[in-house]
C-alpha cells in the first residue's frame, strides 16, 4: 500500500506551543510524530482522545445536580406514560417490549 503524506498548518498560542513542545521533547518525540499519533487515534476510534474532566460544571448545572440528588427535581412523563426513577427501570421496560 502506498502512503502519501499531507502537510497542513494551524494556529496555536505561542505560550501553549512552547510548553507543549517541551513536554513532547521530554518524551523523545517530535511535534509531527505526536500530531500524527493524535490524528491516527481520532481516525481509528472516531473519538477525540482528550480528557475533558477538568471542565467544571457551571452554576446552573450544579444546582440541577443538587435538585436531582435531593429528590426535588421534576419528573417527566415518557411516551409510554410510565415514570422511571432508575436506568434499570428503563431497561426493564425496554426488555418487556
Contacts of 83 (CB under 8 A, 6+ apart): 75, 77
What is the tens place of the pLDDT at every residue in 17-68? 999 999 999 999 999 999 999 999 999 999 988 876 767 788 988 898 898 8
The per-residue pLDDT for 93 is 76
The DSSP annotation for 21-64 comes to: HHHHHHTT--HHHHHHHHHHHHHHHSS-----TTPPP-HHHHHH
pTM of the model: 0.50
Cell of 44: 481509528
pLDDT category at 16 given cuts 50, 70, 90 is very high
The per-residue pLDDT for 54 is 66
The per-residue pLDDT for 29 is 93
The Cα 64–Cα 93 span in angstroms is: 26
In this model, does residue 2 exceed pLDDT 60? no
DSSP reduced 3-state for 12: coil
Contacts of 67 (CB under 8 A, 6+ apart): 73
What is the tens place of the pLDDT at every residue in 66-89? 988 898 877 766 666 666 777 787
Amino acid at each position: 500500500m502506498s502512503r502519501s503524506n499531507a502537510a497542513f498548518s494551524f494556529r496555536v498560542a505561542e505560550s501553549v506551543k512552547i510548553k507543549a513542545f517541551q513536554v513532547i521533547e521530554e518524551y523523545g518525540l517530535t511535534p509531527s510524530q505526536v500530531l500524527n499519533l493524535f490524528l491516527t487515534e481520532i481516525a481509528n476510534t472516531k473519538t477525540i482522545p482528550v480528557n475533558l474532566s477538568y471542565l467544571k460544571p457551571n452554576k446552573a448545572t450544579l444546582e440541577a445536580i443538587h435538585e436531582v440528588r435531593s429528590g426535588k427535581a421534576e419528573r417527566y412523563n415518557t411516551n409510554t406514560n410510565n415514570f422511571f426513577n432508575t436506568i434499570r427501570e428503563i431497561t426493564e421496560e425496554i426488555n418487556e417490549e
